[in-house]
Structure 1
Amino acid sequence: MRHAMITAGTKGLGLKVTEAFLAAGYRVTVTYLSDEERAKALMETWGEHRVHIVQADVTKRDDCKQLVDAARSFAGRMDVFIHNAGPYVFEKKKLIDYSESEWNDMIDGNLTSSFHLLKEVVPIMREQQFGRIVFYGFQGANNAPGWIYRSAYAAAKVGLVSLMKTISIEEAAYGITANMVCPGNIMGEMKEATIAEARQHSDHNTPIGRSGTGEDIARTVMFLCEDNADMVTGTVVEVTGGVDVIHHYR
């Protein structure tokens, strides 16, 4: 049975991705940061043989290493790594107003954590001669745009684009692919909604006419992780419905 490791996969967008892999027959290691109740609910639904829950803070190197060790002990292999976790500063503030700790959290949680996790995950995938790695970004990240009030987060994710593309080249000979999915403006309950649910409500802010959902992201991630998706690597896939997330200057 194949195994997927998904950071922050117990709620929000991560939950829909976790559920998709479970429905496809995977065993899944999932992390949570603080919401233990949601984590337990997921395991109770699917059973401890299918779901392995690990509390981890991806901004900490030791937590990253312990996570991968625990995941390998659970399943004996590492077929898929989805890095869904990543801190975000919701308050709108210019770069000059960021504290050093806020800056460090954004860089460590979104970029440096990827380095630490890849250092642990890639050797396992090399042994298997197979692996699928997916990161998350934001609309336009592939082109390194400025994003007012989101400077630290944007800098980390744009750096991650380059890291992802480099890994996709360096590890291609081992049957490993790496890609990035960039969600649009998926908010609130839509993170855990289905496409059918979203189509029941119009969204005039999205050109396609409905909100994006967690299911949209899950479907994209699942495609990138298929065996026959090996020609798709080093790619940034935007799942936005045509919405413009970043070009708002007020």
Structure 2
Amino acid sequence: MRHAVITAGSKGLGKMVTEELLKKGCSVTVNFRSDLARINELKEEWKEYGDRIQFVQGDVTKKEDIKYIFTQAMERFGRIDYLINNAGPYIAERKKLVDYTDDEWYEMVEGNLSAVYHFLKLTIPVMRKQKFGRIITYGFHEAEHAPGWVYRSAYGAAKVGLVSLTKTVALEEAEHGITVNMISPGDIVGEMKELNIQEARKMQDPNTPIGRPGSGEDIARVIAFLCDEDSDMITGSVISVAGGVDVVNKFRQVQHQSLNIIE
């Protein structure tokens, strides 16, 4: 039985990825940071998968917590086939680089870039022994082109660095049967993160070229495909799941429109 470690796998996009892999017969170690009430809800919701799932508390910005998550997965299931780096701190408030505190900057870098490094150091040796592994990171639309992202300097810098790390490790580990790819979700927010595609198709979104909002299932389906044994030809790729939305430039366009109105 394949085993997946999914960081922040109890809410939002992570929850949908967890559910998708459980349905495909995998066992899953779900990492969560603090919401115990949510975990109790999921234990009831997913009780049919009780023998194939465990919940491990930990903060991915802390190296010792990452080691604990890894150790718990290995002790319970003895292997790690899929590493889904779903967790990634994000500051919703729009602020320029000079307005960030040191703590905010380091949280963005540690949570979005260094955390992946620490997980890779632990899991890659396991995957090498198995001669199989699927690693997924998360980026943002056009991250591979290192665009400027107004008011998102810390998050953007960490994710752009993660693009290079993803591509580099994909090359380094290909000979061991390990693939490494990045998913770049579109503007999937709020309740849409935990909705399925059929529910999303009932809604209209004039800001998305395909006409509907993105959903958590859109992301989960792509990740499940990349985890398949026969998807080994896909590695070092950055795959956008955005419905055609230019997420980075959306606010810049709104900002320019506002300036034109003022003028």
Give me the TM-score of the superposition, normalised by structure 1: 0.98
- CA distance, structure 2, for counterparts of residue 64 and residue 115 of structure 1: 10
Q: Percent identity?
A: 56
- CA distance, structure 2, for counterparts of residue 26 and residue 160 of structure 1: 27
Number of the residue aligned with 2:18? 18
Number of the residue aligned with 1:50? 52
- CA distance, structure 2, for counterparts of residue 112 and residue 33 of structure 1: 17
Task: Specify which of 139, 144, 148 is matched with residue 141 of structure 2.
Answer: 139
Residue 37 of structure 2 aligns with an amino acid whose one-letter code is E
1:140-159 matches, within 5 Å, as: 140-159=142-161
Residues 5 and 80 in structure 1, CA contact (< 8 A), matched pair in contact too: yes
1:163-182 matches, within 5 Å, as: 163-182=165-184
- CA distance, structure 2, for counterparts of residue 119 and residue 98 of structure 1: 29
Residues 198 and 211 in structure 1, CA contact (< 8 A), matched pair in contact too: yes
Give per-residue Cα distances to partners, 1:138-175, cap 9 Å, x unaligned.
00101010000000000000000000101001111110
RMSD across aligned C-alpha pairs, in angstroms? 0.8
1:232 aligns with 2:228: no
Q: Which has the larger radius of gyration?
A: 2
- CA distance, structure 1, for counterparts of residue 192 and residue 55 of structure 2: 24
Structure 1 residue 215: deviation in Å?
Answer: 0.2
Residue 131 of structure 1 aligns with an amino acid whose one-letter code is G
Number of the residue aligned with 1:215? 217
- CA distance, structure 1, for counterparts of residue 28 and residue 132 of structure 2: 17
Structure 1 residue 40: deviation in Å?
Answer: 2.3
1:40-189 matches, within 5 Å, as: 40-47=40-47, 48-189=50-191
- CA distance, structure 2, for counterparts of residue 199 and residue 177 of structure 1: 32
Residue 116 of structure 2 aligns with an amino acid whose one-letter code is S
Q: Using the TM superposition, name which of 36-45 and 71-80 deviates more.
A: 36-45
Number of the residue aligned with 1:200? 202
Give per-residue Cα distances to partners, 1:201-228, cap 9 Å, x unaligned.
1000101000000000000001110000
- CA distance, structure 1, for counterparts of residue 42 and residue 83 of structure 2: 19
Number of the residue aligned with 1:8? 8
Residue 26 of structure 2 aligns with an amino acid whose one-letter code is Y
Give me the TM-score of the superposition, normalised by structure 2: 0.94
- CA distance, structure 2, for counterparts of residue 186 and residue 64 of structure 1: 27
Structure 1 residue 9: deviation in Å?
Answer: 0.5
Give per-residue Cα distances to partners, 1:80-132, cap 9 Å, x unaligned.
00000010010000001000000000000000001111011101101100000
User: Which ranges of structure 2 fall in alignment gaps of 5 or more residues?
Assistant: 256-263
Residues 43 and 53 in structure 1, CA contact (< 8 A), matched pair in contact too: no
Residues 3 and 77 in structure 1, CA contact (< 8 A), matched pair in contact too: yes
Give per-residue Cα distances to partners, 1:29-59, cap 9 Å, x unaligned.
0011111111222233334311110001000
Number of the residue aligned with 1:38? 38
Please give the secondary structure, in 2, of the residue aligned with 1:49. Answer: helix
- CA distance, structure 1, for counterparts of residue 44 and residue 27 of structure 2: 14
Q: How many residues align?
A: 250
Residues 29 and 53 in structure 1, CA contact (< 8 A), matched pair in contact too: yes
- CA distance, structure 2, for counterparts of residue 12 and residue 58 of structure 1: 17
Please give the secondary structure, in 2, of the residue aligned with 1:246. Answer: helix
User: Which ranges of structure 1 fall in alignment gaps of 5 or more residues?
Assistant: none
- CA distance, structure 2, for counterparts of residue 36 and residue 185 of structure 1: 28
Please give the secondary structure, in 2, of the residue aligned with 1:178. Answer: strand
Please give the secondary structure, in 2, of the residue aligned with 1:182. Answer: strand
Structure with higher helix content: 2
Residues 180 and 237 in structure 1, CA contact (< 8 A), matched pair in contact too: yes
Please give the secondary structure, in 1, of the residue aligned with 2:193. Answer: helix
